[in-house]
């Protein structure tokens, strides 16, 4: 409980800090910290696979790619807060309040009678060791029961990679200047 509160406080602090900071380089680094805090949060929620992904992608690769992008565009550019966007503040506060209100209808964490835990999850948990025979049920769901979805994800990553390569990459040799 205390861990949750501390983590959430840190998350809130970093989120506010990211929105206030004017140096892009700093924002990228703080975003990495935010991501790492999220990963810790997932560990607390016993979702180690998700935490692993968040730590590797959010903290590792994203930060590197954002820094690469910054070195392309110039990290010395600073954001300037000129206007006071009162309307935007009201809108986001309203949306946040609505979302908070919405969570009151959601089932409690790890509630066994929650709809998400009643549909196919019991079947996977009970049959996984019989049908797939590997200890990590997350892997058996991802790779075997939900193989189509994972194939779709890989194709999405592939497509994204092809897109960036065709926009930015140069497959031909550099012309002699």
Tell me which residues touch another protein (CB under 8 A). 48-49, 51-53, 56-57, 60-61, 64-65, 68-69, 71-72, 131-136, 138-140, 142-144, 147-148, 150-151, 153-155, 157-158, 160-162, 164-165, 167-171
Q: Smallest distance, Å, CB 139 to another protein? A: 5
Given the complex with another protein, which of 104 and 171 has the nearer CB atom? 171
Question: How is 50-76 classified by DSSP, letter by letter?
Answer: HHHHIIIIIIIIHHHHHHHHHHHH-TT
Nearest by Cα to 46 from 110, 126, 141, 125: 110
Query: Using CA atoms, how far apart are residues 114 and 99, in angstroms rounded to an integer?
Result: 19
Given the complex with another protein, which of 105 and 130 has the nearer CB atom? 130
* Cα four-point dihedral sign 130, 134, 135, 140: negative
Query: Using CA atoms, how far apart are residues 32 and 63, in angstroms rounded to an integer?
Result: 6
Given the complex with another protein, which of 105 and 177 has the nearer CB atom? 177
Inter-residue contact 80 to 22 (CB < 8 Å): yes
Given the complex with another protein, which of 4 and 131 has the nearer CB atom? 131
- Token pair recorded at residue 16: 């506010």
Q: Smallest distance, Å, CB 109 to another protein? A: 20
The 3-state DSSP class for residue 105 equals coil
Given the complex with another protein, which of 107 and 147 has the nearer CB atom? 147
Q: Smallest distance, Å, CB 24 to another protein? A: 15
Q: Smallest distance, Å, CB 154 to another protein? A: 5
* Cα four-point dihedral sign 148, 60, 169, 23: positive
Q: Smallest distance, Å, CB 45 to another protein? A: 13
């Amino acid at each position: 409980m205390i861990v949750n509160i501390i983590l959430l406080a840190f998350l809130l602090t970093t989120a506010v800090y990211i929105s206030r900071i004017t140096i892009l380089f700093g924002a990228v680094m703080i975003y990495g910290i935010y991501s790492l805090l999220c990963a810790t949060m997932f560990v607390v929620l016993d979702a180690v696979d998700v935490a692993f992904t968040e730590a590797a992608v959010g903290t590792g690769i994203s930060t590197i790619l954002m820094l690469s992008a910054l070195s392309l565009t110039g990290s010395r550019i600073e954001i300037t807060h000129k206007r006071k966007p009162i309307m935007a503040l009201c809108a986001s506060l309203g949306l946040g309040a609505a979302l908070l209100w919405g969570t009151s209808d959601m089932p409690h964490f790890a509630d066994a009678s929650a709809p998400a835990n009643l549909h196919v999850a019991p079947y996977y948990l009970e049959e996984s060791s019989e049908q797939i025979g590997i200890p990590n049920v997350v892997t058996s769901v991802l790779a075997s029961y939900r193989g189509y979805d994972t194939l779709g994800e890989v194709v999405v990553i592939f497509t994204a990679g092809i897109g960036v390569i065709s926009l930015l990459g140069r497959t031909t040799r550099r012309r002699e200047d």
